[in-house]
Chain A
Amino acid sequence: MQLDDLTISRRNLLQGAAASGVLLAFHMPVRAATGPFAPNAFIRIAADNTTTLVMPQVEMGQGTYTSISMILAEELDADFAKVALEHAPPDDKLYANPPFGLQATGNSNSIRAFWTPLRTAGAAARAMLLQAAASQWKVDPATCSAANSMVTHAASGRTIAFGALINDAARLTPPEKPALKDPKNFTLIGKPLKRLDTPEKTNGKAVYGIDVLLPGMKFAAVAQCPVFGGKVAKVDDTATKKIAGVYKIVQLDDAVAVVADTTWTAKKGLAALDITWNEGANAKISSAEIWADLRAASQKDGLVAKHEGDAAKALAQGERIEAAYELPFLAHAPMEPLNCVLQLTKDKCEIWIGTQVMTRVQGTVAQLLNFPLDKVVVHNHLLGGGFGRRLEPDMALLSVRIAQKLDGELEGSPLKVIWSREEDIQHDVYRPVYRDTIAATLRDGKIDAWNYRVTGSSVLARWLPPVFEALKGVDFDAVDSAADMPYDIPNKHVEFTRAEPPAVPTGFWRGVGPNNNVFATECFIDELAKKAGKDPVAFRVSMLDKEPRLKAAVQMAAEKSGWGQALPARVGRGICAQVSFASFIATVVEAEVDEHGEVRLRRITSAVDTGIAVNPDTVIAQLQGGLIFGLTAALWGEITIERGRVQQSNFHDYRMLRIDEVPRIDVHVIKSGEAPGGIGETGANAGPPALRNAIYAATGVALRRLPIDRAALAGKRSA
Chain B
Amino acid sequence: MATLKINGETKNFEATPDTPLLWVLRDVIGMTGTKFGCGIAQCGACTVHVDGKPVRSCLLPVSAVGDRSVTTIEGIGATPAGAAVQKAWLELEVIQCGYCQSGQIMSAAALLATTPNPDDSDINAAMAGNICRCGTYVRIRDAIKRAAGNAA
Contacts and interface: CB of A to CB of B under 8 A. Distances in A.
Contacts of B130: 658-659
A703 B128 CA distance: 28
Contact of B93 (A621, A659, A660): A621
A650 interface: yes
Contacts of A195: 93, 95
Contacts of B99: 208, 334-336, 384-385
Given A195-B93, A624-B135, A659-B128, A203 B27 contact: no
A396 to B, nearest CB: 19
A335 B100 contact: yes
Contacts, number: 184
B65 interface: no
A304 B40 CA distance: 48
B32 interface: yes
Contact of A621 (B35, B77, B96): B96
Contacts of B139: 621, 624
B137 A662 contact: yes
Interface string B1-44: 00000000000000110111001001110111111111110110
A213 interface: yes
Contacts of B95: 61, 195, 198, 201-202
A691 B98 CA distance: 27
Given A657-B135, A660-B128, A202 B96 contact: no
Nearest to A335: B99
Nearest to A200: B98
A636 B67 CA distance: 42
Nearest to A664: B138
A629 B96 contact: no
B66 to A, nearest CB: 19
A203 B132 contact: no
Interface stretch (A77-85, A224-232, A257-265): A257-265
Contacts of A202: 77, 86, 89-90, 95, 101, 105
Contacts of A387: 133
Interface in A349-405: 382-387
Indicate the size class of the contact surface on chain B: 35 or more
A518 to B, nearest CB: 18
A262 B19 contact: yes
Nearest to B96: A61
Contacts of B38: 421, 650-651
Interface in A115-147: none
Interface in A612-642: 617, 621-622, 624-629, 632
Given A204-B32, A421-B37, A628 B135 contact: yes
A420 interface: yes
Interface string B82-96: 000010011001111
A63 B95 CA distance: 9
B53 interface: no
B102 interface: yes
B124 interface: yes
Given A624-B139, A659-B130, A662-B137, A63 B42 contact: no
Interface centre among A197, A198, A267, A657 (most CB of B within 10 A): A198
Contact of A244 (B16, B100, B127): B16
A201 B90 CA distance: 10
Contact of A334 (B31, B74, B133): B133
Interface string B106-150: 000000000000000001110111111111111111000000000
Given A335-B132, A421-B37, A650-B38, A659 B98 contact: no
A62 B93 CA distance: 12
Nearest to A193: B93
Given A199-B90, A201-B101, A625 B136 contact: yes
A195 B134 CA distance: 16
A651 B98 contact: no
Contact of B97 (A219, A382, A627, A660): A382
A656 B138 contact: no
Which of B23, B31, B130 counts the most A-chain CB atoms under 10 A from its CB? B23
B25 to A, nearest CB: 10
Contacts of B37: 335-337, 421
A267 B39 CA distance: 10
Nearest to A622: B96
Given A197-B98, A621-B96, A336 B35 contact: yes
A651 B96 contact: no
A622 B130 CA distance: 19
B138 to A, nearest CB: 5
A665 interface: yes
Contacts of A579: none
Given A205-B74, A335-B133, A622-B96, 13 more contacts: A61-B96, A202-B105, A203-B77, A262-B19, A262-B27, A265-B19, A624-B135, A624-B139, A627-B135, A650-B38, A656-B131, A658-B128, A658-B137
15 contacts: A198-B90, A202-B105, A203-B73, A204-B72, A205-B74, A208-B99, A210-B36, A262-B15, A262-B23, A333-B133, A384-B100, A650-B38, A651-B131, A657-B135, A658-B130
**9 closest residue pairs by CB, A with B:** A204-B33, A384-B99, A628-B135, A61-B97, A201-B98, A61-B96, A625-B135, A660-B124, A204-B73
Interface of B: 15-16, 18-20, 23, 26-28, 30-40, 42-43, 45, 72-74, 76-77, 86, 89-90, 93-102, 105, 123-125, 127-141
